[in-house]
Amino acid sequence: MNAHLQPSGSAYFLSAETQKPERHTLSVLVDNEPGILARIVGLFAARGYNIDSLTVSETEHEKHLSRITVVTVATPKVLLQIKLQLERLVPVHKVYDLTADGKALERELALVKVAGTGDQRVETLRLADAFRAQVVDATTESFVFEVTGKPSKIDSFIALMVPLGLVEVVRTGLAAISRGAEGM
């Protein structure tokens, strides 16, 4: 039960939140139709939910199904609301809380542009090798690396590249899937 905030003379009674926010990854199976992404994003915006990461792509072309992976931070009560509100949307087939149902596999891809000369380039390549990052573009003064892994691994790689001449980064956002034989 939430302790109540003082003062309050409001008919819209506000109460202090006592639950701790958690970070959850939701997988949302939807019809791939125009406007579906706007519906999902609009719902998050309208109800004040957070989006930390969002990944969308068609996954079953013949059935016109897309999988949307959303990472959100919310209290358990709000997380349940997010799931139920998403399920109210007509084109949404199913919402699966990957975090609630055990440890899901989570991967992200980043393209990292680093510019530098001389010893810096050698050090850059050595670190890239350690992170299994591939060189996908090279000039005499720059590299573009492709690195895949958990978001934390990508964070570390990017942090290491900062003093070595990091120019810019693009990240795909999270793709996640449950472990084991069962599908969604």
Residues of this chain that interact with another protein (CB under 8 A) are: 1-4, 6-15, 30-31, 34-35, 38-39, 42-43, 46, 77, 80-81, 84-85, 87-93
**Least separation, in Å, of the C-beta of 103 and another protein?**
26
Residue number, 7 or 180, with CB nearest to another protein: 7
Residue number, 81 or 120, with CB nearest to another protein: 81
**Least separation, in Å, of the C-beta of 81 and another protein?**
6
Residue number, 30 or 112, with CB nearest to another protein: 30
**Least separation, in Å, of the C-beta of 178 and another protein?**
20
Q: Of 19, 30, 31, which is closest to residue 69 (Cα–Cα)?
A: 30
Question: Exposed (0-12), middle (13-18) or buried (19+): which is 51, by Cβ within 10 Å?
Answer: middle
Residue number, 46 or 162, with CB nearest to another protein: 46
**Least separation, in Å, of the C-beta of 61 and another protein?**
16
